[in-house]
Amino acid sequence: MRATCEPLDPAAQRAGRIPVLGDGGRELCALWTQVLERPCSDRHLRLQVIAAEPLELPAAEPSESATGALARLERALRGSGALLVLLNPAIFPPAQIALAEGARLFALADAADEASWDAVLSLGLPVYGLRGRIACACLTAHPGAVLSALAYGNFACEEGLALERLDEDRAGVAWRTGVDAEATVIVRGGYEAARQQGVEGSWADRGNEAYVRLVIRSAGGTCWTQPRFIAPRAGLPAQQQHGH
């Protein structure tokens, strides 16, 4: 079944409850959430925890570093199935993005956030991006199924554009929008590897991308897919494995 939710909706964040909707806007279940302000010794973290049920979270310790705060929260959430979202990823410039390890999800509000996301993806870290409405396919109407989709990047972000089809495998990706749209293929370092115009398109992996994600824009809106991490192909020269 198709399920949608808006984890970054301010009303949901204030209420501490993220409704998960099915066809026709029917509520299937809900996720618990809490926004955390963490003033640290070196920068101010804005975080969000998403879980199946309410959790007791550790208090802030302003004397610790942002990296220490992330690590402490990650340890506290371990085994619970809960996810940690970094709401302001741009506080870690691309050159320092390894310090953000521990957050499974980045909120993407602008180009600076997206640059930090591409930087962490280029390190091979499985971090997924949140913006707008989240759409995923779930076998059951249970919070755990939605959390699993978020944890493993099995979702797309929709702002006015929903894909009719998205097929991904080890060889590449194919998509269909049903409306005229421009799809941009993003690879290592945020590099735009290709642009395709039309109601559908595809990308065959070359083996040197590190990851592949799509940004698809139409007159009515935009859809962002999550990264697929690409294993280097056997026999590919080393300079091609690490280049574009």
Each residue's pLDDT tens digit, 24-54: 889 999 999 999 999 999 999 999 999 999 9
| Percentage, residues of the chain above pLDDT 90 | 86
| Phi, psi for residue 87 in degrees, rounded to 5 | -80, -20
Average pLDDT over residues 102-116: 95
Residue 235 has pLDDT above 60, yes or no: no
Half-sphere exposure at residue 36, Cβ-oriented, CA atoms within 13 angstroms: 26
Tell me what pLDDT residue 17 has: 97
Tell me what pLDDT residue 239 has: 43
Average pLDDT over residues 109-135: 96
- How would you label 64-79 residue by residue, b for 16+ Cβ within 10 Å and e otherwise? bebbebbebbeebbee
Pairing verdict, β 17-21 and 228-229: unpaired
* 39, 174, 185, 211, 233 from 193: Cα distances, Å: 38, 15, 5, 11, 18
Structure tokens at 119: 């930087």
- Banded model confidence at residue 141, pLDDT cuts 50, 70, 90: confident
